Structure 1
Amino acid sequence: MRILFLGAGATGGYFGGRLAKAGGDVTFLVRPKRRDQLIRDGIKIESPVGNLTTPVKAITREEISAPYDAVILSSKAYDLSDAIETIRPAVGENTLVLPLLNGLKHLEALDDAFGAPRVLGGMCQISVTLTDDGTIQHFGPFAAVTLGPRLAEQKTASAKLHDVLAKGFDARYSDDVIAAMWGKWFFIAALASSTCLMRATVGEINRTENGREFLANIVSECVAIATANGYPPEQAMLEFTKSLMSDSNSKISASMLRDIERGGRIEAEQIVGDIVRRGRAQNVATPLLETALIHLQAYENRFTPSEPVSR
């Protein structure tokens, strides 16, 4: 399969680089400066599971000459509109689009742009960053992609894509990929809401007088929303979340907090706003998530003043 990765940032660069090293037919769709760097130096990954430097194919949008078999998106939600237009020439009648974005809100936009039969469900779990010199730094041993069909007619093609991706990295196939996406979403919504609202790590919050109760309650709100929408978290994921969020020594915080601390853009609507609205639609009370969302929207309004968000 000819696979196109949009961008060669931390996430897409890691998975695409691993697949390219394993012999996959991988091309990176990037801006001219990054294309020149990739052609000159290849993809560079520093990781506890093994460093690699490998030559890769890289093109700009103007150089797309034919549709690809699959296009993999790992862009931020606030860049999705641009990403859709960038990949449009690469999406043909039989192309699969695999988004690795957080939450579920992006699926509607992708369905509108390319048709639901082309858009799979997917997510990734990885901690990576891109250094100033273009090196991808991977933290910890874990890096996995989960994908699967959203429609029965996608089963054969999505299984084939899984088999190709699994040659390069930990790729997992799910028959209920939306449930898997919810399983990640409820956790990152709780983590982002709590650590951003308190401007602190999980451990720092737990060491306050009522921090443990606060974190438990915000997790409960996220679980209630997922459950009301028909996707209660699996017991193992629920136990993992409760254990992590009650650790007084934890140094973990959401990547969204790091984005705020450096004055960057954030995925407030994709991760927190959308889950709050899905809770409202099911009459789930979410006072803590609502407070966190106001906090995040207020931060965003410093940079992009706008009319009040409609309820």
Structure 2
Amino acid sequence: MRILVVGAGALGGYFGGRLAQAGRDVTFLVRPRRAELLSRNGLSILSPHGDFHLAQPRIVTADGLNDAFDLVLLSCKAYDLDDAMDAFAAGVGPHTAILPMLNGMSHIDALAARFGANTCLGGLCQISAGLDGEGRIHHFNDLHALVFGELDGAATARMAAISAALGEAGFDAQPCEKIRQEMWEKWIFIAALAGITCVMRAAVGDIVAAGGGDLALALFDENAAIAAANGFSPRPQMVERFKAILTAQGSPIKASMLRDIEANHLIEGEHIFGDLLRRAPGEAPLLRIAHLHSKAYEAQRARVSA
């Protein structure tokens, strides 16, 4: 199976690098600057599960992409989705499957509109990773799972082929018959974690110490009610797990969105908060505050850089 990994940042670089390490046929679609860095330094992963260095990763830029792949692993940020689709479009053929690793759900509609409803799988990843100043990928925890499945839950021949290609490749590849449920559950948790840590500008443990744990739970409950209204009520064991994370005393956890704000980077506020708010059956005041906070940050960032 020929696999095109769109991006070689923390997520695409990690999962694509592990696939290459396992001998899979992997090509990374990257921008010219990243291509130059990878050509010079190779692809490096530093991980609790073992370090890996690929001296000469197979790379391509958009202008050099001219044939179809069997599987596209999409690891871009939501705000880069339109540009990413333009970049990898030449790699999509009649039998290509696209496996996105984005949070939320609106990207599914965008991919279906561009490439056809049957092209896209559902997917999510469970990992904490980032790039350092030299472009190396640092994996920060023990989790490195890629969950994927047909959006309608069907057991198809392509799912079997993709499962075989991703399996035993140095990370946890998890085929899933209820991928929409999994995606919704992750979405409402991410929206709660990002919402509370960004608005408070603090890690979970600091918010709990300040007496704000109840607000984190209330925000999660709002999000869970939206999921339920859309037919994806979170499972009780997931609710218990997520609420424990959001109220853990002394926890250093904060959303990656907060790290992006602290670094003055673009954020996925509209994709995480705005789209969820649009699906709400009624008022969701705490989620609205989180959404407005993200929009205010973006407005300030645009004003200062103008």
Please tell me the TM-score bracket, short chain as reference.
over 0.9
Q: Tell me, yes or no, if structure 1 residue 185 matches structure 2 residue 187.
A: yes
In structure 1, what residue type is equivalent to 2:208?
N
Aligned-pair distance for 1:116? 0.8
Structure 1 gap ranges (5+):
306-311
In structure 2, what residue type is equivalent to 1:303?
R
In structure 2, what residue type is equivalent to 1:289?
L
In structure 1, what residue type is equivalent to 2:126?
Q
Who is 1:24 aligned against?
Answer: 24
Please show how residues 101-250 of structure 1 align to structure 2 within 5 Å. 101-151=102-152, 155-168=156-169, 169-209=171-211, 211-250=212-251
Q: Does the aligned pair in 1 maintain the 2:197–2:203 contact within 8 Å?
A: yes
Q: How many residues are matched?
A: 301
Q: Does the aligned pair in 1 maintain the 2:153–2:177 contact within 8 Å?
A: no
Who is 2:81 aligned against?
Answer: 80
CA distances 1:206-262 after superposition (whole Å, capped 9, x unpaired): 1124x1211111111111111111111122211111111111211111010111111
CA distance in structure 2 between the partners assigned to 1:119 and 1:201 by the alignment: 35
Q: Does the aligned pair in 2 maintain the 1:148–1:159 contact within 8 Å?
A: no
SS at match of 1:200: coil
CA distances 1:45-97 after superposition (whole Å, capped 9, x unpaired): 00011101124211111222310001111100000000000000000111111
CA distance in structure 1 between the partners assigned to 2:302 and 2:154 by the alignment: 41
In structure 2, the CA distance between the partners of 1:152 and 1:124, relative to structure 1 (3 Å rule), is: closer
CA distance in structure 1 between the partners assigned to 2:157 and 2:76 by the alignment: 26
CA distance in structure 2 between the partners assigned to 1:188 and 1:65 by the alignment: 36
Aligned-pair distance for 1:151? 4.0
In structure 1, what residue type is equivalent to 2:299?
N
Aligned-pair distance for 1:41? 3.3
In structure 1, what residue type is equivalent to 2:76?
S
CA distances 1:163-192 after superposition (whole Å, capped 9, x unpaired): 211131211111111111011111100000
Moved more, 25-34 or 189-198: 25-34
Normalising by structure 1, report the TM-score. Answer: 0.93
In structure 2, the CA distance between the partners of 1:100 and 1:205, relative to structure 1 (3 Å rule), is: same
SS at match of 1:252: coil
Aligned-pair distance for 1:277? 1.1
Aligned-pair distance for 1:143? 0.7
Aligned-pair distance for 1:38? 2.4
In structure 2, the CA distance between the partners of 1:220 and 1:145, relative to structure 1 (3 Å rule), is: same
Who is 2:294 aligned against?
Answer: 296
Moved more, 162-171 or 12-21: 162-171
Normalising by structure 2, report the TM-score. Answer: 0.95
Moved more, 30-39 or 40-49: 30-39
Who is 1:287 aligned against?
Answer: 285
Aligned-pair distance for 1:276? 1.1
Aligned-pair distance for 1:304? 3.9
Percent identity over paired residues: 45
In structure 2, the CA distance between the partners of 1:298 and 1:239, relative to structure 1 (3 Å rule), is: same
Structure 2 gap ranges (5+):
none
SS at match of 1:298: helix
Aligned-pair distance for 1:154? 7.5
CA distance in structure 2 between the partners assigned to 1:154 and 1:134 by the alignment: 38
CA distance in structure 2 between the partners assigned to 1:107 and 1:304 by the alignment: 28
CA distance in structure 2 between the partners assigned to 1:23 and 1:256 by the alignment: 34
CA distances 1:135-173 after superposition (whole Å, capped 9, x unpaired): 100001111111100247772212311221113121111
CA distances 1:285-311 after superposition (whole Å, capped 9, x unpaired): 311111111111111112347xxxxxx
In structure 2, what residue type is equivalent to 1:187?
F
Q: Does the aligned pair in 2 maintain the 1:148–1:155 contact within 8 Å?
A: no
In structure 2, the CA distance between the partners of 1:270 and 1:250, relative to structure 1 (3 Å rule), is: same
Moved more, 264-273 or 295-304: 295-304
CA distance in structure 1 between the partners assigned to 2:230 and 2:253 by the alignment: 28
SS at match of 1:117: coil
SS at match of 2:34: helix
**Cα RMSD between the aligned structures?**
1.4
In structure 2, the CA distance between the partners of 1:153 and 1:175, relative to structure 1 (3 Å rule), is: closer
